[in-house]
Amino acid sequence: MSARSKARKRALDMLYIADVRQSSLRDVLREEAERAAVQPQRSSSWPYAEDIVRGVIDNADAIDRLLELHATGWSLARMPAVDRAILRVAVWELVYNDDIPAPVAISEAVEFATLLSTDDSAAFVNGVLGAIADRA
C-alpha cells in the first residue's frame, strides 16, 4: 500500500472515529497527532492524512452539501458511517486537492468501500463520486 493510500486510510479512520463517537473531528485529529509524534514508523502517512482531515474540517459544510445533492435518495444520516467517511475523504480530494487525479480519488474510495463496507457500498460510492467529478 502506498504512503498516500495509508494516509487516506488513516484519515478515513479519524473521520469514522469522530462520527461514531460523536466527537469533534478536531479532537480526534489532535489525539492522532499526539500518537503520530511517538510513532515515527508511521510518519510517512501522517502529513497527508493530516492535510485530508484539516481539509474536511475546513470544508465540511460544502462537502456535505455536495454529498446530499449527489447521493440521490440517501441523506447523510442514512448512510453507513464508514461510507460517509469514505465519501468525505474522496470529495475533499476531488474538489479541493488538485494534486490528485479524479480517477485516483474515486478508485481509492471504491476500494475502501469494497473492503470496509456493505456489498452495495462500492457501487454507491462510485456513483456519487462520479456525479461529483462530472460537475467539478
Angle between helices 121-135 and 102-116 (to 10 degrees): 160
d(CA 107, CA 98): 16
Q: Is the pLDDT of residue 40 over 80?
A: no
Angle, CA of 69, 71 and 73, to the nearest 5°: 100
Average pLDDT value for residue range 7-22: 97
Closest CA to 121 of 91, 79, 90, 89: 79
Confidence of residue 37 (pLDDT cuts 50, 70, 90): confident
pTM: 0.95
Domain boundaries, the chain: 3-135
| Whole-number pLDDT of residue 29 | 96
Whether 136 shows a pLDDT value over 70: the answer reads no
CATH of 3-135, one of 1.10.940.10, 1.50.40.10, 3.30.530.50, 3.40.50.300: 1.10.940.10
* pLDDT tens per residue across span 42-95: 777 899 999 999 999 999 999 999 999 999 889 999 999 999 999 999 999 999
pLDDT digits (tens, 9 = 90+) for 103-132: 999 999 999 999 999 999 999 999 999 999
